[in-house]
Amino acid sequence: MSNAKSKERPEGYPDRHYLNAAHGLKSWFLTTDHKRIGLLYLLAITLFFFLGGAFAVLIRLELATPGGDLVQPETYNRLFTMHGIVMIFFFLIPSIPAVLGNFLLPLMIGAKDVAFPRLNLASWYVYMAGGIFTLWALFEGGLNTGWTFYTPLSTVYSNTAVTTAGIGIFITGFSSILTGMNFIVTIHRMRAPGLTWFRLPLFVWSQYATSLIQILGTPVLAITVLLLALERTLKLGIFDPALGGDPVLFQHLFWFYSHPAVYIMILPAMGVISELIATFSRKRVFGYRFVAFASVAIAILGFLVWGHHLFVSGQSVYAGAVFSVLSMLVAIPSAVKVFNWTATLYKGAVSWETPMLYALGFIGLFTIGGLTGVMLATMGIDIHVHDTYFIVAHFHYIMVGGAIMGYLGGLHYWWPKIAGRLYPVFLSKFAAIIIFVGFNLTFFPQFILGYLGMPRRYHSYPDEFQVLNVMSSAGATILGIGYLIPMLYFAWSMFYGKRCTQNPWGAKGLEWETASPPPTLNFDEIPTVTEEPYDYTPKEVQHAG
């Protein structure tokens, strides 16, 4: 039945599109089409997500009992280190920019491609090269330093594959830089006629802010990891206390990138949410300019707050206070976004399609993640909860509840554009709810565990923490199943899903003004923009008004 359905062609379904424009492996691995490169990324990051998720499952299995009885401590240390490295550098950071951003940015601004298509393809190969190094580190036995690589543990005391993984991260960083450069130039130079800055979709604004961080932050991580690798291999002594070096300098350099990196993960998700809220409320985002500038404000402030990771590292009270108050300020543009999204729903025409379920879930989870972030920026609270499960819960609310919800919401929203096909409605709503429930069950108990004092990165723990840990592990099981369902139906839909019309959601935005799936050069004719963004009010009503 589905087979017959999948062959049905709705009116206007294109004969030729980017998916069938060329065939064979070469047409994929040597493509310069941003849409195909987006799909290459989609495939690669899904594999890494699966890998990182497998590590997470093992971690939660180990923590189901207080004694360290499933794996050895050294194995456990390798598991959470690899979970962090794979999820952050190989899934979260590239997820929305490299998959959805790559696919949509030129479509959204009415361009034929990104500014540097070959560089775009190169960025995927660079990413894969970094990924291969990191997998190689896994075959060397993994590494046990935590994804934060704190010295001197990582330089002097660890005899695991730190250098190999460091090289992997160093290389992958450049794929992120190349993507960021490409996007900024594309947004500056490739917009369609009439598409002024304030007519840009908010997703584009957030991608712009993200790209700034990618370009200015990633190189600092690159040099830091490089110095770490040199220190291990050539015995340079830049972070070695024995030579008068300072291990805390490493923490400063590391967090100068790695804190803004959080915004690389969350800003694009915020952009996706703005699109979803507008489309599924059929209404212009309330306070459009404030939401747009909030993205830029978060990107800039994000560079000034790294010291809040060092409140208990012996930093002076004054330095701590400065970093504390600057970190608090990030809450303001974040709050502005949340309030504006909520206000957009007011008097909207809200439909509860699958992507919208993710968007609504995102607002709630991001609010919790953000406000617990404000608590962590409060120095008097941070002392106690620093390096406990409270922080683990907080950043998972931001990264999983925020970034991954945004990514999945975006994938469900633009899937008809990407594949030209639909996915099962009921199953997808079911999966969205499963993920929401599983997520909260996994991570909410960790807030309580954190205030109770359970430190993070613990292989075994006192008995009284067990009930909450079992809840968390149970939630992780549900969450894991929740993630598997979309993986399966997306894979199915790519080949067998029902073909969709050009604009199944009735959405605004240039990406919906071309065929689904789009032709290789995106538009048969480059559109000229005359409308404000998200202009859902019908023309006749506008004229009457």
Q: Does 144 bind another protein (CB under 8 A)?
A: yes
Alpha helices in 16-116 (DSSP H): 25-29, 34-62, 73-85, 93-94, 102-108
Instruction: Match 């991608």 to its residue by tokens.
Output: 207
Piece in contact with another protein (CB under 8 A), picked from 37-45, 73-81, 127-135, 413-421: 73-81
> How far apart, in whole angstroms, are the C-alpha atoms of residue 113 and residue 102?
9
CB atoms < 10 A from the CB of 545, how many? 6
* Residue 536 phi, psi (nearest 5): -90, -10
Of the residues 296, 374, 427, 437, which one makes contact with another protein according to CB under 8 A: 374
Instruction: Please say which residue, 332 or 491, places its beta carbon nearer to another protein.
Output: 332
Of the residues 281, 354, 473, 514, which one makes contact with another protein according to CB under 8 A: 281
Which uninterrupted H or E stretch holds 467?
Answer: helix 466-496
Q: Does 21 bind another protein (CB under 8 A)?
A: no
Closest distance to another protein from the beta carbon of 45 (Å): 22
Q: Which residues pair with 388 in a beta bridge?
A: 455
Closest distance to another protein from the beta carbon of 41 (Å): 19
Q: Does 380 bind another protein (CB under 8 A)?
A: yes
Piece in contact with another protein (CB under 8 A), picked from 20-28, 196-204, 324-332, 492-500: 324-332
**Site map 245..274 versus another protein, x via CB under 8 A:** xxxxx---x--x------------------
Piece in contact with another protein (CB under 8 A), picked from 199-207, 226-234, 401-409, 416-424: 226-234
Closest distance to another protein from the beta carbon of 421 (Å): 21
Q: Does 332 bind another protein (CB under 8 A)?
A: yes
Residue 315 structure tokens: 């930093």
By three-state DSSP, how is residue 12 classified?
A: coil
b/e 250-261 (16+ beta carbons within 10 angstroms → b): bbbbbbbbbbbb
Alpha helices in 497-529 (DSSP H): none
Residue 62 structure tokens: 């180990």
Q: Does 141 bind another protein (CB under 8 A)?
A: no
Instruction: Please say which residue, 136 or 451, places its beta carbon nearer to another protein.
Output: 451
Q: Under rule CB under 8 A, which residues in 185-204 are in contact with another protein?
A: 185, 188-190
Q: Does 537 bind another protein (CB under 8 A)?
A: yes
Of the residues 45, 98, 171, 181, which one makes contact with another protein according to CB under 8 A: 181
DSSP 190-246: -PPTT--GGGS-HHHHHHHHHHHHHHHHHHHHHHHHHHHHHHHHT---TT-GGGT--
Instruction: Please say which residue, 173 or 517, places its beta carbon nearer to another protein.
Output: 173
